[in-house]
Structure formats: C-alpha cells, structure tokens
Amino acid sequence: MQNRPAYTVLTFAAVGLAVAQVFSTTEKTIQANDRSRWATVRALVHDRSYAIGQRVFLPDGGYRDEGIVAERGWDTIDKVMDPATGTFYSSKPPLFPTLVAGVYWVVSALTGLTIVDDQLPVVRIVLLIVNVLPLAAYLLVLGRLIDRLGGTDWGRLFVFTAACFGTFVTTFATVLNNHTPAACLMAGALYYALGAVRLDLFGAAERAPRWACARAGFLAGSAAAFELPAAAALAWIAAWVGRRRGATAGAIVLTAAAVPLAAWVVTNYLAIGQLRPAYSHQGGTWYQYDGSPWRPGRLEGIDTAGESETKFEYAFHLTVGHHGLFSLTPVFVLALGACRTPGRPDRRPTPQAERAGSQDEVLTHIGWAAVLLTSITLAFYVLRSSNYGGWTVGPRWFFWLTPLLLSAALPAADALAQTSRGRLLGGFLLVASVFSAGYRATRPWSHTWLYDLIVFFDPRFAY
C-alpha cells in the first residue's frame, strides 16, 4: 500500500471510535429493531427454539402473552404471530440471529454471563465480535481496494477517510443489525471479484483464480442472504466474472453463493416451518393479530408516512430528502463520476490488468454497477415500503452499497485533487457526511438530522 501508515492510523481511529460507541451502549440504545434479533438469540441459546413468545387463549375468549416478548424490556414491534399456533417469532430473517446465537453461546460458556442476568455486558462483548471485528476487516479490504484503484494520494486518502468516518457503516456498530454485516460482506465480494477478473490486486487470486471466484460468490451470496436486494449484486458479479474468465468461473461464483442462500432457506424453515420469510406476510394475518402495532389505525409516527405521501415524494426523500442516500452521505454523489472516467495520472496497467481491462475501464464498470444497483434497491423499497426504515439516523436499506459507492467515487475524488477549489468542495462533502454519520451515533435508532431540522422549523411536517 502506498498510503499504509495513513490507512493504519485512520483504521485504528475508526475501530477505536466503534469500540467506544459499543461501550456506550445502554438499554436506551437497544430498540425494537435489534431487540427483535436479541430475543431470537436468547431463545435459541436458552430455549433451543426460535419462538420468542406464546399467546395463550383463555376460556372466556381473552388471552395472555407469555415468553420473552412478554417480559419487561424485551417487547418489540418487530414480531409476528403464527395464527395457527399463537406463537410469536421475530419478523427478521433468522440466519443472522442464528449465527449471533453461536457467538453468544461461546461467550456465555467462557464467561458465565447470560443475556438474561447480564444484558449489557453480554451485548457489548457480542457486538465487539460481530460488529467491530468485521468492521476492522472491512476497512482493511477497502484500504487495499482504494489503494489499488485510486489515481492520486489525495483522492485515495479522501475516500478512505470517508470510509472510516463518513458513512453509516461505522455508526451502526452499536446495535445488532443486518445492514453493516452486509456492507462488510459486499466489500469482500468486490475485492475477490476484482481478483477473479485478474486485476493484480493480490497474488493469491493470480495463483488460484478459482478460489477468488468461489470467495466472491460466497461473500456476495451471504450479503444477499442478509439484504435481499444484494442478490442483484450477486448476479452482476457472476456475469462480470463469467464474461472475463468464462462460463465456468461464473458458475463457480453462483455455486459458492448457493451455500449461504441455502442456509438462509434452511434456517427460515427451521424457524417458522415454511420457506416463505416472516416479513413477507406484511398486511396478512401474521402481522394483523389482536394488539399488533401494524394493524390499520394503530400506526404511529414515521410509520404513517405512506398515508400522506405519494411514491414520488417517498423516492425523493429516500434519495435527496430527509432520509436521502445522497443528502445524508453527499460523498456518494462522487460515485456518479465513475460512469464516465477521464484519463488520470498514475495509470500504468499491469499485464494482468490489461487482460481484464484497464483500471479506468474497471472503475467505469463499477460506477455503472453502483448506479444500477442503487436504482434497483431504491425501486425495491419504494414499491415495498413506506416508512423509510422507521426510526433510523440513516437510510439503512442502502448501507450494503457503501463499498461499491466508495470505490466508484475514486475517479471524481482524483479529479477534485487537481485544484484547490476541488479539494475544498471535497472537504465540504466529507465534513457533511461525517456530521451525518456522527449525529446521535450512540443512538442510531433515531431520526436523521435533516428530518429533525425540518421538524424544528415546521413542526407540522412531523409524521
């Protein structure tokens, strides 16, 4: 790495900040979204079951709820009830909580701590393992990608600083969520995909390109298991690798991806006894049980956004509005520059790079892929949702795209590096992104600063 010392300092600073955020976690930090996953983790380890509660129907026609979600501090709106049995389950896909349950089981066995009696110590230890360690690996991988693909030292350091402090991947290290792991997995998938098409990123891929294909597929498939729209990224990687390296290489990518996807299907069946995921029952009987906060007329706050907004308004606010991908993380605007990559300094492709296309061509490809995948993700959630992901300081459904968008931002960052005005503009975009990422960083299940600002000046805007 040409900028190894600077990357090392920035990485330690970002990871240290994440550790500090994890140790600042309190009961107030844990909200309905991650509490739903923690309930599954607890149920798996202590009850050997995915069930997080049970509705007991009484002879007089009433009912009472028992189990984890009936306990104080453990209730969550992110649960569904099987109408046939009255059993409560988390509405979150079970694969990730199942993996976390394995981590918690080991932690509990080694320390004697339990999430029932020692909630915060256990939560902090598990978050350090499942959030902070992957974050460190994520930054290491991004550092190598940025160093290899960047054209100027200023542009490389600019994008890597944004990776460390200017996105919500680090913000959400304080809570258990599927979005930041998906981003880490996507960074690895992109890293090995570039190795698979024989860019000289690292020697291992050159000596064993099939292993690079398999790793890219496995990581992309895992990202898709955590974030459904990431399946489009898996298809893109398989097509790209197949085009560059042949149909066999593309088939290896898809075969490796089938492993985590199969695990997703199996855990979903083990959890609720059907292949259809629990969250796909939105609007149906699994969500519309008596007392459910998802029943018509019971929605509150931002969950009512769909009742007053058109889909056009919703798409606007998801992109450049109060929950916007580009308004809250403006450094991502630079990713659009990779769709038309100008010539840049330090562009002397290796023989391996020439076989796979020049770095400029690769960055253009990544840029178009970033735009396409962002558009697909936006269309998916505009059609299937209406509440911006609930209470969240950032557009959490887009977090998995972060490594792609940062990589695609490199050409524009290199262009900004050429003039003082460009560097000033880049600094402004970076500061704004860092501010968004740091806003209420210890309580990421809060509204965005743009939303709070709008409501401050016009309280009537509040949902």
pLDDT digits (tens, 9 = 90+) for 355-411: 445 677 888 899 999 999 999 999 999 999 999 999 999 999 999 999 999 999 999
Q: Note every long-range contact of 67-75, with CB atoms under 8 Å and residues 24 or more positions apart, other chains counting.
A: 68/39, 68/42, 68/43, 69/39, 73/27, 73/119, 74/35, 74/39, 75/35
Distance CA 211, CA 448 (A): 41
- The answer to whether the beta carbons of residues 338 and 409 sit under 8 Å apart is yes
Distance CA 3, CA 157 (A): 8
CA–CA distance from 190 to each of 77, 142, 261, 354 (Å)? 35, 9, 18, 19
Distance CA 319, CA 375 (A): 10
Pair of tokens at residue 130:
């499942």
Distance of CA 331 to the CA centre of its chain: 17
The pLDDT of residue 318 is 97
- Report, in angstroms and rounded to the nearest whole number, the Rg of the chain calculated over CA atoms: 23
Structure letter (DSSP) for residue 161: H
CA–CA distance from 48 to each of 40, 51, 89, 101 (Å)? 10, 9, 13, 10
Q: Where are the domains of the chain?
A: 4-175+293-461
Distance CA 421, CA 365 (A): 28
- The answer to whether the beta carbons of residues 400 and 222 sit under 8 Å apart is no
Strand partners, 90: 79
Share of the chain above pLDDT 70, in %: 92
pLDDT tens over the chain, length 463 residues:
556 788 999 999 999 999 999 999 888 888 989 999 999 999 999 999 999 999 999 998 899 999 999 999 999 999 999 999 999 999 999 999 999 999 999 999 999 999 999 999 999 999 999 999 999 999 999 999 999 899 999 999 999 999 999 999 999 989 999 999 999 999 999 999 998 886 655 554 445 678 899 999 999 999 999 999 999 999 999 999 999 889 999 999 999 999 999 999 999 999 999 999 988 888 889 999 998 988 888 888 999 998 889 999 999 999 999 999 999 999 999 998 776 644 444 444 444 444 445 677 888 899 999 999 999 999 999 999 999 999 999 999 999 999 999 999 999 999 999 999 999 999 999 999 999 999 998 899 999 999 999 999 999 888 8
Q: Where do we find the tokens 């992110």?
A: 78
Max Cα-Cα span within the chain: 80
β-strand 63-66 against 79-81: which pairing, if any? Answer: unpaired
Give the phi and the psi of residue 305 in degrees, each rounded to 5.
-55, -40
For 390: left if phi > 0, alpha if psi spans -120 to 50, otherwise beta; the answer is: left
